[in-house]
A and B are shown apart, each in its own frame.
Chain A
Amino acid sequence: MGVGAIVRVDAPGRVVFGVVMDAAAYDETRLYTAAVLRQDPEEPLQPVPLGEVRMATDDDVRMALRMDGYTGGNRGTGIPVGTYGSAGLAAPVYLDADFLLGPEAAHLNITGVSGLATKTSAVEFLLASIFQTFPAHKGSVAALCFNVKGPDLCFLDQPAELSTEDLASYARLGLSPTPFDNVRYYAPCKPDGVNLNTLRTHPDLAANTEPLTWGLREVLEYAEVVLNRDDLDAKADAFIDFLADRVVGRDFQAPELHPQEWRVLTFADLEAFFRAIFDSLENSNRGDIWRTHHIATIRKVRNRLGNITTRAKGLVTDDGASNDLPWGAFADRSVYVVDVASVDPLAQDLVFARVVSKLREHLERRDLGVDHVVVFVDELNKYAPADGPDTYVRKMLLDLSERGRYLGLVLFSAQQFRSQVLRRVVGNAGTTIYGRMDPDELATAGYATLSPATKIKLATLPKGELMVRHPHFTQPVFLRFPRPCVLSGREGVERFPPAPDLPFDEAVARQLRSMDPGIATDRVRAIVDGRREDDVRRALARTRQLRPDDVLAYFTAALGRRVEPELVTRRTGVIPLRGTADPYSS
């Protein structure tokens, strides 16, 4: 018996289930205080009778946590989340998929101190559990994870060695201890455009790791993300809207510019367009206004947009080549990991905003490829803080938590300090998990409903244990979950050390090898030797987009044949044709 133990009180005509919330000792006497989980029958509600108190059995746990309502039968919706253990018991505990992934409630939030492998491990285990047990009649499900620090989520497809205890726990929960079958990694490039900006660069892992690169169109759709700085005003917004609606990707006619017809597709085109506006204003002496936009506003927008290609170089390309997530072709039980751990915060904002917005758009149109998507975002203290500026990412996370469940868009989020996260974001989470907590955090108002003993238990939780709140559980419950069957970030980096940044040609070869392992570096080196890096990057992007059968042949063709210069010396002609009149003379 201890804090968190589930107990059963039997009385004539009534059974009451409770969970121990507090305890006190008086010499040899122990006084336990339990909160009621469930009464049977529930009506009429009566005081808890005096009766014999016993530790709960498997069936008692199932009844106490109301799991009898959603587990078992053909259309059960239980998702194993861990085992409840007390006095040698290891009773499986299930979350209700309807309350975890919608439509009744949705979202999950995890709080816990760093370094105890609670937050990331719990999400990894729960995702594996969802993928294995999400009922077929509820549709398809995929996960999109943002890796925001270190190698945390970089090895989801690599198996870990599990202890006998963990294996037994998997068996108890009816789960298979295997890593994720279908994982695809996306990471922006480094500024050289070919080396990936991720810790998952070991050659053995290259097959499912792709670059994430966007062009002007992709960026301008979400210009407000990267431009929502204090110095941007309504006038700049209006000019950006003008660019997005009238200029970019369209045939734009401007008789006053040189040339008069524009088709702006890339950042390079956009720069030429800005230059043409400035030239036009300078040459025509028509003042400082171009189409109602002041030249200062135009310069400001040009500077901000130009800044994107500098700060987010590697994610944003000048020449418009893009490599994106498979919008419209998401696969059931697949994980898509977007690694933004090492990129500039501006680029992180852009990635968050665009990826989630695209998810929402596709789910609204029901053409994403799956019915539900779990989005995992760590470090909510950074991305959705209670205080601080109202950034686009924060607004997006709020919108996701408030509206997402109607669309099948589910937010799994984690942070160290729940009290310092935007209240509406965590408040909308139907299920909440707590790992070991910082005592200072427990002292904040949000934890006032917990008993002192529960707080002490939370502050001293061992690794692999957590406290769960779920709509079906009337009181928080302490559970143990097995270690996820994937390599942790630290183990992964030790087993698959990141490859050092390669010289340009070797990095290109490595990316080509991810599509065709038989491609030799020497051949690629010979092909790209002397070529401009921009051209090579463009050819690589086209090869990646098409994924042809003969990768090297396509890449070589896309790169184009070199035309060697021919020195032409002065040519002498021949004498005119004699006796031949102009055949067309009248």
Chain B
Amino acid sequence: MKIAHLADLHLGFRQYHRQTPAGINQREADTALAFRQAVDGVLAARPDAVIVAGDLFHSVRPTNAAIVFAFQQFQRIRADLPDAPIVLIAGNHDTPRSTETGSILRLFDELGVDVATHEARRFSYPQLELSVLAVPHEALAQAERPVLRPDGSARYEVLVAHGEVDGVFPSDRSTVEYGGALVRADEFGPGEWSYVAFGHYHVQTELGPRAWYCGSLEYVSTNPWGELRDEAEKGVAGKSWLLVNLDTGIAEPRPIIPARRVLDLPRLDGSDMSAEELQAAISDRVAAVPGGIADQVVRLVVTGVPRHVGRQLDHAVLRGWKAEALHFQLDLRRPEPTRITGVGAPGRRQTLPDIVQDYLSRRQLPAGIDRAAFVNEGVELVASAERELAED
């Protein structure tokens, strides 16, 4: 018994300004491409059931293109796998805030997709000895939640839900999608199900025995860099959906080949670099990207760059990179301000020349300036001013 576990497709997701020749946002097209690729994989793997654990669309009112595309893809699955149940739940992105808005997901009911939009539903497929408890975001956001327990009615019992499992998300939460309902692990008892299919967190994560977040198929959050970092920390290589064997409990990632790479280049420390040196270092970093940055989503963080150095960079070159990449973000970060806080008893009070000397010895300087001479000149200037005042 195999099931395909997909989640967080976010069809209709738009980011950056690049458009396809047909006038569609490029990232929206990328997201669709990833889903089409996943459906290709699902049809090839021929699972006994297909589960989509929420956030099919990026918004409650998706674009017409996204609706038509999703309909076509589900129609493909329905036609090729006529006996496989398809279970679809609403996530926080595709759940309207007021019920009278109605859910676009109900459209897919016409395709033979079993949809849970607001209330939890327990779908029973006796021919497969399979029972699926489908719990959409709205059901978990209510005060009276459904009981997230198997009912013992089938050989294979699967829970599909969309929400934030307590204690799983990274502590800095910069990559956490807002608005997910919090679920305690003891609420659903991971060990009691044949499989628990969760959606909401975009980084593929094992929650426990037979329980997974399968992750999104593309970088569809506002903080793709945080997603990359989480993936690196968890040892997850890119995006994939899961093909799960309910008999063995093994979940096999089926990778998605992305339309373009999302690259967070190794950070540069720009402290004490002149504009020319920094420009050269940035150019080296960009040039070192295998395959180049053309049509890729790229970020380079440079720390310790004073404002005047940033202004002196070659902006024509930077504009070239921005035109070449789908998105090129040069993130220049100012040096950390140095704060000196006095503690204990007051010491000797600094004179004006002391203060000037102290400041000049710390101030960022353009490259090529001899700091000692610079400081001496400043101090001498102050001293001469004081002498003139004394003479007056």
Contacts and interface: CB of A to CB of B under 8 A. Distances in A.
Interface of A: 251, 258-263, 265-266, 268-269, 272, 276, 319-320, 531-532, 535, 538, 556-557, 559-568, 570-574, 576-577, 580, 582-584, 586
Interface of B: 20-22, 24, 28-29, 32-33, 36, 64-66, 68-69, 71-72, 75, 78-79, 82-83, 85, 110-114, 120-127, 131, 133, 143-149, 151, 153, 167-168, 185-186, 189-191, 205-209, 234
A265 B71 CA distance: 42
Contacts of B131: 565
24 contacts: A263-B167, A268-B189, A268-B191, A320-B186, A531-B147, A538-B186, A560-B145, A561-B144, A563-B120, A563-B146, A563-B147, A565-B122, A565-B153, A566-B124, A567-B126, A568-B85, A570-B83, A571-B78, A573-B78, A573-B112, A583-B24, A584-B28, A586-B20, A586-B29
A560 B68 contact: no
B79 A260 contact: no
Contacts of B36: 582, 584
Given A564-B122, A584-B29, A319 B186 contact: yes
Given A565-B123, A583-B65, 5 more contacts: A259-B208, A320-B186, A571-B78, A577-B72, A583-B22
A561 B147 contact: yes
B144 A556 contact: yes
A574 B110 contact: yes
Given A272-B191, A320-B186, A562 B110 contact: no
Contacts, number: 125
Contacts of B28: 584
A319 B234 CA distance: 28
B25 to A, nearest CB: 10
A572 B112 contact: yes
B69 A258 contact: no
Contact of A584 (B32, B83, B112, B149): B32
B207 A259 contact: yes
Contacts of A582: 36, 69, 72
Given A259-B208, A557-B143, A560-B147, A566 B24 contact: no
B185 A263 contact: yes
B71 to A, nearest CB: 7
A268 B189 CA distance: 9
A563 B122 contact: yes
B112 A586 contact: no
A561 B120 contact: yes
B147 A559 contact: yes
B124 A567 contact: yes
Contacts of A577: 68, 71-72, 75
A584 B189 CA distance: 41
Contacts of A266: 186
Most chain-B Cβ atoms within 10 A of its Cβ — which of A320, A559, A561, A571?
A: A571
A272 B206 CA distance: 14
Nearest to B63: A583
A259 B191 CA distance: 12
B149 A535 contact: yes
Contact of A560 (B72, B114, B146): B146
Contacts of A584: 20, 24, 28-29, 32-33, 36, 65, 69
A251 B143 contact: no
A205 to B, nearest CB: 32
A576 B146 contact: no
Contacts of B209: 258-259, 272, 276
Nearest to B31: A584
A577 to B, nearest CB: 7
Contacts of A563: 120-122, 133, 146-147
B283 to A, nearest CB: 31
Nearest to B71: A577
Given A563-B120, A568-B85, A259 B206 contact: yes
B144 A576 contact: no
A263 B126 CA distance: 35
